[in-house]
Structure 1
Amino acid sequence: MSIELRHLRCFLAIARERSLTRAAATLPLTQPAVSRTLAALERHLGVRLVDRSTHHLELTPEGRAFRDKAAAAVAAFDDAIDPARLHRRPLRLGHAWSAFGPYTTPLLRRWQREHPDTPLELLRIDDRTAGLARGEVDAAVLRGPVDTPGLATQLLFTEPRVAALPSDAPLAARPALTLADLSPEPIVVNTVSGTTAPGLWHSHSRPATVLTVANTDDWLTAIAAGRGAGVSAASTASMHPHPGVIYRPLTDAPPVPVHLAWRAAAPHPAVGALVALARELSERG
């Protein structure tokens, strides 16, 4: 059999909804048709994409890898046949939080002035690659190490880390902190797109309690509510101020690398210009 675009769209609906029934409703197809399409795709690929043994449907490791490739393929197809984009294709730039930090506004203004025929769309996507691996964007600002296959990267700058504390926490009265100062506190960790994990601390001083969240908004809310402290890059303090959160420098935490990333195969024609502008602004400081 040959795989068609409908197979990919069906699988992406399953991956998104985590349910054959809900996926069928969004397509719309019958549930048996969705099951047959998934089975045909798995037979063609020779792997199981979905684990149905648990109470909730989950993707297998092969399914997660294929989801990213399928999403990129569908996005490329939709982009190619959209007549509105043929002569004025925007450059979609993803980020999970804080974008280019202090360089965000200068970059957007310069781009609009120097590249008026290529709109730059800044999109926040809570994902490890800010939607890049799934084909939702053409380039992305990524913090931390980048090890996703198929991506090209340019290191732009590094950011110091800061501690994020409830505004009424005793530690908030100090001008600066160390990682050891935070060890007794519960630590709020964004496991989807954040750059902090218990491994940031030495093994003998790791926090005893870790609270996980899935995005920056929930991270800020948890800290403001007094459920714990957090660690982030310095630009978070300026890009995400919160009345219930105080940011303090961390004097002994390693800096966070900030990369511009894009798909190495068939990049958007304007990616080179974006890399050049981002480098110019970050090097100028």
Structure 2
Amino acid sequence: MSTSQGPGRGVEVRHLRAFLAVAEEGGFTRAAARLRVSQPVVSRTLAALESRLGVRLVDRSTHHLALTPEGAVFRDKAALAVSAFDDAVTPGRPRPRPLRLGHAWSALGPYTTPLLRTWQQRCPRTPLELLRIDDRTAGLARGEVDAAVLRGPVDTPGIVTEVLYTEGRVAAVAADGPLAARASLSLADLTAGAVVLNTVSGTTTLGLWPPDDRPAATLTVANTDDWLTAIAAGRGAGVSGSSTAGMHPHAGVAYRPLEDAPPLPVLLARRDGPAHPALAELLSLAREIVTWDGE
């Protein structure tokens, strides 16, 4: 497969396969092992693809290899092209690539298992992979996933969101601390001590409190595991969506409803542009699943 003129001239399926392997494996070494070629071959093939397209697809300047915005868009186009090619040359043996659904910490809460089970029943030929990725867009902006479950407002350019439902917020406090003895709490109850903030993938900020009644101190962490550990150790309290209580139980942490905190919107997000062929089915099923409680 190649083009005869203009940008993209000379692009072949092997170029696309190399790019997709690098994007999906997150590095040249694993991509080379997957393709059963040497690392220099993968690097040269990707460089040739970028040269022929006239655009940089992979950011090699960071310790963690990431797709450029152009690479994230091109990934879906490349996957569709390779899938179409494979279907054409192996009729009757379609090999749909997995649909990757990212999340930062609690996926769809109580709807997660029903979604995965129903998807397996209805779409057995397309695997649905649930991936936890600790960043604000759960890997969506970097092209690591096809869609993502996110919470709170998302203003990242190029990402389209849909509110599936809202959930209440809870306070997470040390299980052996005085606040754990209360049936419910208010935001003001948390201001006397420190509040633990996950600044990488969390949604809670000091803006949740009135300017004149904010917590005395903050402790910042980078993921949910460290957030739970700090709270269990009595280093501060935390605030999260109610699904966190069910998805992340911890012997040292007690979850209590927050009476006066605004609800947290739960979003299904995708990139604006070409998408995985099964994404529309995922959107439809997610909408269906979250309405079951109301029937």
> Which TM-score applies when normalising by structure 1?
0.75
- State the one-letter code of the partner of 1:217: D
Q: Distance in 2 between matches of 1:132 and 1:79?
A: 18
Q: Distance in 2 between matches of 1:50 and 1:202?
A: 42
Counterpart selection for 2:206 from 176, 179, 198: 198
Aligned to 2:184: 176
Aligned to 1:23: none
Q: Distance in 2 between matches of 1:92 and 1:180?
A: 39
Q: Distance in 1 between matches of 2:79 and 2:180?
A: 49
* Mapped pair 1:219 → 2:231: no
Q: Distance in 2 between matches of 1:86 and 1:203?
A: 57
1:119-152 deviations in whole A, cap 9, x for unaligned?
A: 1000000011101111100010000012122222
Q: Distance in 2 between matches of 1:95 and 1:277?
A: 17
* Mapped pair 1:88 → 2:90: no
Aligned to 1:238: 246
Deviates more, 1:72-81 or 1:255-264: 72-81
Q: Unpaired runs of 5+ in structure 1?
A: 18-26, 30-36, 52-56, 59-63
Distance change >3 Å, CA 115–CA 170, structure 1 → 2: same
Summarize the alignment of residues 1-285 of structure 1 with structure 2, pairs less than 5 Å apart: 67-71=68-72, 73=74, 77=78, 81=82, 87-285=95-293
**Shift in Å at residue 158 of structure 1?**
0.3
1:256-279 deviations in whole A, cap 9, x for unaligned?
A: 000111112001111111111111
Asked if 2 retains the 8 angstrom alpha-carbon contact of 1:73 and 1:135, the reply is no
Q: Distance in 2 between matches of 1:50 and 1:99?
A: 30
Q: Distance in 1 between matches of 2:285 and 2:126?
A: 14
Distance change >3 Å, CA 177–CA 78, structure 1 → 2: same
> Which TM-score applies when normalising by structure 2?
0.73
**Shift in Å at residue 79 of structure 1?**
7.8
What's the C-alpha RMSD, in Å, of the aligned pairs? 3.4
Q: How many residues align?
A: 248
Aligned to 2:4: none
**Shift in Å at residue 281 of structure 1?**
1.3
Distance change >3 Å, CA 79–CA 97, structure 1 → 2: farther
- State the one-letter code of the partner of 2:242: A
Distance change >3 Å, CA 69–CA 217, structure 1 → 2: farther
Distance change >3 Å, CA 69–CA 163, structure 1 → 2: farther
Q: Unpaired runs of 5+ in structure 2?
A: 1-6, 28-37, 41-46, 88-92
- State the one-letter code of the partner of 1:179: L
- State the one-letter code of the partner of 2:98: P
Asked if 1 retains the 8 angstrom alpha-carbon contact of 2:135 and 2:201, the reply is yes
Aligned to 1:54: none
**Shift in Å at residue 248 of structure 1?**
0.3
Q: Distance in 2 between matches of 1:213 and 1:67?
A: 26
